[in-house]
Amino acid sequence: MKIYQVGGAIRDKLLGLPVKDRDWVVVGSTPEEMESLNYKPVGKDFPVFLHPHSHEEYALARTERKSGTGYKGFVFNTSVEVTLEQDLARRDLTINAIAEDADGNIIDPYNGRSDLKAGILRHVSPAFAEDPLRVLRVARFAARFNFALADDTLQLMKGLASSGELLTLVPERVWAELEKALGSNYPTRFFKTLRDCGALPHILPEIENLFGVPQTEKYHPEIDTGIHTMMVLEQAVRLTEDTSVRFAALVHDLGKATTPKDILPAHHGHEERGAKLVEKLCLRLRIPNRYRDLAVIVARYHFICHRVMELRDDTLVHKLEALDAFRRPERFEQFLLSCEADARGRTGYEESAYPQADYFRQCFRAASTIDTSNLSSQGLAGPAIAVAIQQLRINAIINIRATLPAPEINKPVAPNKEHTA
């Protein structure tokens, strides 16, 4: 019985990154022996056990093949004759097929270290094509490490995309990969990789449909809505690590893909159309409500934020209420970040200021600190109190706006740069 540390822990260690999760492979043992050593089995179909003290996962060395039920499951061979090299061969990428023994010796039968050094994502064997989820995993690793794809791996992914087998993926697994990609350093690489292999139309058609849709050049020098979307996501990455904001930035303009062609490059009404598309997307992929709720209000109201200085006092209060800012101030801050990413996600505007956010924020603070203590003593009740509170908020905004400057908005200050996503 020999034990090896494998996979992501070794990969990240070799890259000089913090190691968070450790996985282990056991060669030359059986389920019965593992249980006799007080390892706790996990599930019935997988030969995985929890260490009695560290509770880390220890898996028996195994090979696998696609089961007769298609891509919903695999049949595992846990024969004691399975070698470490055979176990590593079933893994997706060479950079994930590296092991380390108890003495610190590296076992690298598929040259994963060379690919790490070169920044290449390469499949281990043709068995890669048996699991369509690996298309998303590769795209996610591209987003995490900013690595390129080996040509033959890209061809395998193209084959999976054209086969239609990506449509068999469980929604929760698709979202899990997307969420991890959004939390990475280079999330636009996730979408570029999926586009390069032809998978994006099957996984996220709402995003694919944005590419090639023109916008008014005066406001969007990059013109293409898909390019703009990737630029907005890049700006969201610069502004925050909050994946909710990054997701909202990604889907804020979905409605532009459904603009009638006879009015292009204008996009009248795209905000409401986009909000409905966001809701459908979140329902399809079973995306958590906290992501959905922020993304919907960003899609619906981002243009309102851009022109907040032009709004009437009462309209501004109504929009704050529609944003539920008084009950959800933390989400209002997320909304402002998303709108800033949108404003800066344009060619030439990457470094420009976004004074609308602070203007909106100061109006909100004034309206949220009104004194309502004497309303009940005035004999007001029910709807009358709500009307009185709304008027107090309007008055507070009138007062604060009299003190706020109206600076010039969103002048381009950065040189143009190319985007190929």
Residue 408 is predicted with a pLDDT of 67
Residue-wise pLDDT for 313-369, tens only, equals 999 999 999 999 999 999 999 999 999 999 999 999 999 999 999 999 999 999 999
| 120-121 and 148-149 strand pairing | parallel
From the DSSP assignment, how many helices (H) and strands (E) are in the chain? 18, 11
**418 pLDDT exceeds 90?**
no
Residue-wise pLDDT for 113-152, tens only, equals 999 999 999 999 998 998 999 999 999 999 999 999 999 9
Q: Mean pLDDT highest for which of 55-64, 319-328, 365-374?
A: 319-328
Residue 239 is predicted with a pLDDT of 98
Instruction: Kindly state the percentage of the chain with pLDDT values over 90.
Output: 75
pLDDT band for position 256 (cuts 50, 70, 90) = very high
Higher per-residue confidence, 190 vs 86 = 190
**68 pLDDT exceeds 60?**
no
Mean pLDDT for 73-91 is 72
Going from the C-alpha of 46 to that of each of 55, 61, 325, 329, the distances in angstroms are 16, 11, 47, 45
pLDDT band for position 413 (cuts 50, 70, 90) = low
Domains and CATH numbers, the chain: 1-125 (3.30.460.10), 239-245+275-401 (no CATH)
DSSP codes, 194-252: HHHTT-HHHH-HHHHTTTT-B--TTT-TT-BHHHHHHHHHHHHHHH---HHHHHHHHHT
Residue 44 is predicted with a pLDDT of 66
| Nearest-angstrom CA–CA distance, 1 and 25 | 10
Q: Would you state the structure tokens that stand for residue 181, as one six-digit string?
A: 């990609």
| Nearest-angstrom CA–CA distance, 332 and 185 | 24
Residue 421 is predicted with a pLDDT of 37
pTM: 0.89
Residue 345 is predicted with a pLDDT of 98
The DSSP secondary-structure symbol of 263 reads: G
- Residues 6 or more apart in contact with residue 405 via CB below 8 angstroms: none
**106 pLDDT exceeds 70?**
yes
Residue 31 is predicted with a pLDDT of 87
Residue-wise pLDDT for 166-205, tens only, equals 999 999 999 999 999 999 999 999 999 999 999 999 999 9
